[in-house]
Amino acid sequence: MASTYTALGVELMATGENAGTWGTKTNTNLNIIEQISGGFTTQAVTDSGTPTALTVSDGSAGATMSHRMIELTGSISGNRVVTIPLDAQTFYFLRNSTSGAYTVQFKYASGSGDTFTFSATDKGDQVVFATANDGTNPDIYTLGFGDVTLTGTETLTNKTLTAPKIGTSILDTNGNELALLTATGSAVNEFTLANAASGAGPTLSSTGETNVDININPKGTGTLKSGTAAVKIAGKETIWVPSGAMYGAETNGADAKQIETTATRPDMKVLDFDAGTAEYAQFSVAMPKSWNEGTITYQVYWTPGSTNTGNCIFGLQAVACADNDTIDVAYGTQIEVTDAGIGTVEDQQITSESSAMTVAGSPAAGELTYFQLLRDAADGSDTFSADARVLGVKLFYTTDAANDA
């Protein structure tokens, strides 16, 4: 009776066979078994559309597929396949050392059973088990080792965390982006997250240098919210000052009037600014503590006293006074804005926003700021030929705190 062979090439000798060569054949078998138990070899992956077929050499040591660990090598220019015969049943330690960003699939030579594939970026190791569980469609299973607990100082090289994933982003358990991380060269400031015991809330802090802001920037028209309510943040704010809160200056003051449009419809509290003489109106505002004491811009709300369409020039200037300061102090530089009459009496007009106006004095939190509004009728560019009736002024200022605490 002739010898037979296992799927990995070990010779199974029949009784009374191979007289005089039994020792040699047994030694060869032992070499093959040693390779199967812990042998290492390399296999160059064919860089073509033809799979790299691992075969067995019956009764001879050295066959690639009869080794425990196989390192796949070679430079590949496309996705490649490595196969084993249908009857192979063993496990392998595979290492993907191919160059090129392409996949390498490990499978049986035919059939539709499960396979294992190194991804295009996976240049790592994998343990697989060739089951030979079906004569037509056998499966290749991957073997995991469950959770690994590391103690002391360990270095992970070329390993992928699946939950969470941390790199340029943190992914949730579904693989969706949870947070994006952007590196800053020479960074010294960062976030610190701290949990809390019962009865206290966790903390998000900025750490690093002595005084560090936290910058939170909603996207587009989005807002910063706490729960469902918008959170007020520092930025541009407005103050509305109606003409009723103003008064004509003692010298060349604008005239305060109440103009009826139609009975039971809105009356207008206005200040009439003359077309031939520069006239003035004044008002004061205790600016909010959250004001950054920087420049202010403004818009004038007004209505024309005639159908004339000439240009009307308004100006605004301001000075801040502290406790125990004299009020007898000069205003700062006047900033002007020009608006053309629209030709319809009692239509509301709104000027464009002015350029930045610097408040004179030394503005500080809690100070009273005095404003003077004028129509610069003496300017030759003011060509509006009738009274300009001012309804009020909207002030724009910038805060550096969310509130006045």
- Classify each residue of 239-255 as buried b or exposed e, where b means 16 or more C-beta atoms within 10 Å of its C-beta: eebebeebbbeeeebbe
In whole angstroms, give the CA distance from residue 358 to residue 175: 53
- What contacts 54, CB < 8 A, 6 or more positions away? 43, 63, 64, 65, 70, 82, 83, 84, 85
54: tokens are 């691992």
pLDDT at 205: 94
pLDDT greater than 70 at residue 163: no
For residue 290, report the phi and psi dihedrals to the nearest 5 degrees: -75, -10
The topology (CATH level 3) of 237-398 is: Jelly Rolls (2.60.120)
Residue linked to tokens 């496990």? 91
In whole angstroms, give the CA distance from residue 183 to residue 347: 55
Residue % of the chain over a pLDDT of 70: 96
pLDDT greater than 70 at residue 318: yes
Strands 90-96 and 69-73: parallel
Contact status, residue 40 vs residue 72, Cβ threshold 8 Å:
no
Give the start-to-end residue ranges of the domains of the chain. 4-142, 237-398
Identity of the residue numbered 286: A
Contact status, residue 233 vs residue 224, Cβ threshold 8 Å:
yes
Residue linked to tokens 């949730």? 172
pLDDT at 232: 81
Closest CA to 142 of 173, 112, 117: 117
pLDDT greater than 80 at residue 247: yes
370: tokens are 């005095």
- What contacts 207, CB < 8 A, 6 or more positions away? 189, 190, 191, 192
Closest CA to 287 of 237, 327, 224: 237
Q: Which DSSP symbol is given to 16?
A: T
pLDDT greater than 70 at residue 278: yes
Report the mean per-residue pLDDT for the chain.
91
Closest CA to 193 of 205, 207, 180: 205
328: tokens are 């007898």
Contact status, residue 54 vs residue 62, Cβ threshold 8 Å:
no
pLDDT tens per residue, range 84-140: 999 999 999 999 999 999 999 999 999 999 999 999 999 999 999 999 999 899 999
In whole angstroms, give the CA distance from residue 106 to residue 111: 13
pLDDT tens per residue, range 249-265: 999 999 999 999 999 99
Residue linked to tokens 């003035």? 280
DSSP one-letter string for 332-393: ---EEEEEE--S-TT--EEPPPP--BPPBS---TT-EEEEEEEE-TTSTT----S-EEEEEE
In whole angstroms, give the CA distance from residue 334 to residue 175: 59
pLDDT tens per residue, range 16-72: 777 778 788 888 888 888 888 899 999 999 999 899 999 888 888 888 888 999 999
Task: Tell which phi-psi region holds residue 399, choosing left (phi > 0), alpha (psi between -120 and 50) or beta.
Answer: beta
Q: Answer positive or negative: Cα dihedral of 271, 275, 280, 285.
A: positive
Contact status, residue 395 vs residue 241, Cβ threshold 8 Å:
yes
Find the range with the poorest average confidence among 79-88, 175-184, 346-355, 372-381. Answer: 175-184
Mean per-residue pLDDT, 328-340? 97
